[in-house]
């Protein structure tokens, strides 16, 4: 039997075909545009997601026995607001996770409604990217469109709806809306009222591995499939990537070094940070996790190379770097504001420490180290909560750089494990589908069989000591300049 995993990302949709033994048979990726209609805004057309996914699926399953396709699981970008009218037509472009238009609404939720109230009812406080503040923005700025809302959903749930006709979401994705009671795994009536919406506008809640419905007849005909295909609820991109890296059970960790950066630590119990520096969310394995998110991670390196150095030779630029932890240049990676641990949408990127001897490679190294130090900021919060992982898996495009992984291992003082087939959320989606269809007895059995470690990067004592000194200086930079950001 075959299982399809889909990762609905920010810039592309990635999908893979997996057999019952966990072997990946084929991969397909399709791009779609992002629009930035105003500074700080970030939008996409949900129909672009569906069209490109459909094109990709046709390519993925060509020349295979289609009657063997048993299930599909989807992971997707979190927090995005997709709104449909009573005819299930998209009302406006989706407002994405990295959109910062909701600064006023975010302040209203945290300061007027209050962080204690939010934390009590959802397990988290408000961040500009969260869905609740987007709904309030629509209510305040697009009154007519807000009144037309019949259904509210998250990005990957739009694909699930298009596949099945069912309005659904899963607990891990719902956790990032700020309308969801994470501890009790249900919608929060208090937050529904604050957002000015009704319960019937929100989708039903499923565990990530539960079957939502079957692929609809029109799609079956278009894809040439004549047997029932189960569609599972799926998961947020981070939770799906955690499944795809085997990050389940208590205390396991995964770093995602993608467009954004995340630290994901699985837990068998609900843990809440009293300062709300990191998120407490539900996990796709039926338990919980801590999640720290930085808005710009590998995208910092892409920006530095593409826009400033005007090169696509990322590896070549890194080959010039010789001495780690000797650099006098520091970089704050807040190109689009920051979430964890500072929750500051006004923060921006900063280079500091340049002198007349500063070279091109010093600046490149500063970018890699700056992102690594920002990961350390998040890890430090988990350590204060008594959660101190000593190993972590890693996924995302930035993980292709062995130099960057070496820096991370020494900045974090953790073993970093490289996955043999690093497919992130798309593999997680396929695993969820396989488990729901009975190919494996449990997620633990599936991940033990499928996820294999190919290499381990271990910290070096001398570099750990040097980076400890560098980090002690780095962590003083943001507090020293944070008051300048609003003025700038």
CA distance 177 to 174: 5
- Which of 413, 398, 418, 381 is closest to 263 using CA atoms? 381
- Which of 179, 180, 182 is closest to 196 using CA atoms? 179
CA 304 to the chain's CA centroid: 22
**Half-sphere exposure (Cβ direction) of 138: Cα atoms closer than 13 Å:** 22
CA distance 193 to 468: 47
Contact 362, 377 (CB under 8 A): no
- Determine which one of 237, 273, 285, 362 is catalytic: 237
Residues 6+ away with beta carbon under 8 Å from 465? none
CA distance 202 to 482: 37
Secondary structure element (H or E) that encloses residue 462, with its range: helix 461-474
Three-class secondary structure assignment of 25-76: EEEEEEECCCECCCCCCCEECHHHHHHHHHHHHHHHCCCCCHHHEEEEEEEE
CA distance 253 to 248: 8
Q: State both tokens at 396.
A: 């995302």
Is 15 annotated as a binding-site member? no
Per DSSP, what are the bridge partners of residue 417? 393, 456
Is 283 annotated as a binding-site member? no
Q: Given its phi and psi angles, is residue 478 left (phi above 0), alpha (psi -120 to 50 degrees) or beta?
A: alpha
237 carries an active-site annotation: yes
DSSP 3-state of 238? helix
DSSP 3-state of 142? coil
CA distance 479 to 105: 24
CA distance 363 to 396: 22
Q: Given its phi and psi angles, is residue 374 left (phi above 0), alpha (psi -120 to 50 degrees) or beta?
A: alpha
CA distance 16 to 204: 27
Buried/exposed code over 343-355 (b: 16+ C-beta within 10 A; e: otherwise): bbbbbbbbbeeee
Annotated binding site: 78-79
- Which residues are identified as catalytic? 237
**Which residues belong to the annotated binding site for substrate?**
78-79
């Amino acid at each position: 039997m075959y299982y399809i995993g889909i990762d609905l990302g920010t810039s592309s949709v990635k999908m893979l075909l997996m057999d019952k033994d966990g072997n990946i048979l084929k991969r397909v990726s399709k791009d779609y545009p992002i629009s930035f209609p105003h500074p700080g805004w970030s939008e996409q057309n949900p129909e672009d997601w569906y069209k490109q996914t459909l094109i990709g699926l046709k390519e993925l399953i060509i020349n295979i026995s289609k009657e063997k396709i048993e299930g599909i699981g989807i992971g997707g970008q979190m927090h995005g607001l997709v709104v449909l009218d009573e005819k299930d037509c998209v009302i406006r472009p989706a407002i994405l996770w990295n959109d910062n238009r909701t600064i006023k609404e975010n302040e209203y939720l945290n300061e007027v409604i209050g962080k204690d109230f939010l934390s009590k009812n959802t397990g988290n406080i408000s961040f500009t990217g969260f869905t609740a503040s987007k709904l309030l923005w629509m209510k305040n700025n697009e009154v007519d469109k807000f009144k037309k809302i019949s259904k509210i959903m998250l990005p990957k749930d739009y694909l699930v709806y298009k596949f099945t006709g069912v309005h659904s979401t899963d607990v891990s994705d719902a956790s990032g809306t700020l309308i969801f009671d994470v501890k009790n795994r249900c919608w929060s009536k208090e937050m529904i009222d604050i957002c000015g919406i009704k319960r019937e506008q929100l989708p039903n809640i499923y565990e990530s591995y539960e079957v939502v419905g079957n692929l609809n007849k029109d799609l079956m005909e278009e894809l040439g499939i004549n047997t029932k295909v189960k569609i599972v609820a799926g998961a947020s991109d981070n939770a799906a990537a955690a499944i795809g890296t085997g990050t389940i059970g208590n205390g396991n960790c995964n770093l995602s070094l993608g467009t954004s950066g995340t630290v994901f630590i699985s837990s068998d119990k609900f843990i809440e940070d009293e300062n709300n520096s990191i998120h407490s969310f539900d996990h796709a394995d039926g338990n919980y996790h801590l999640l720290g998110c930085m808005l710009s991670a590998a995208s910092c390196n892409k920006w530095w190379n593409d826009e400033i150095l005007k090169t696509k030779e990322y590896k070549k630029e890194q080959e010039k770097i010789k001495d780690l932890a000797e650099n006098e240049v520091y970089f704050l990676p807040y190109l689009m504001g920051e979430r964890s641990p500072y929750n500051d949408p006004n923060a921006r990127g900063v280079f500091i420490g340049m002198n007349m001897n500063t070279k091109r490679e010093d600046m490149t190294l500063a970018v890699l180290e700056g992102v690594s130090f920002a990961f350390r900021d998040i890890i430090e919060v988990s350590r204060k909560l008594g959660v101190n992982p000593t190993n972590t898996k890693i996924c995302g495009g930035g993980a292709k750089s062995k130099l960057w992984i070496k820096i991370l291992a020494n900045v974090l003082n953790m073993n970093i494990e490289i996955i043999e087939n690093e497919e992130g959320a798309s593999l997680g989606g396929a695993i969820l589908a396989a488990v729901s269809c009975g190919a494996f007895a449990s997620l633990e059995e599936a991940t033990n069989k499928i996820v294999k470690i190919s290499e381990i990067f271990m910290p070096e004592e001398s570099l750990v000591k040097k980076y400890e000194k560098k980090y002690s200086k780095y962590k003083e930079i943001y507090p020293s300049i944070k008051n300048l950001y609003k003025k700038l």
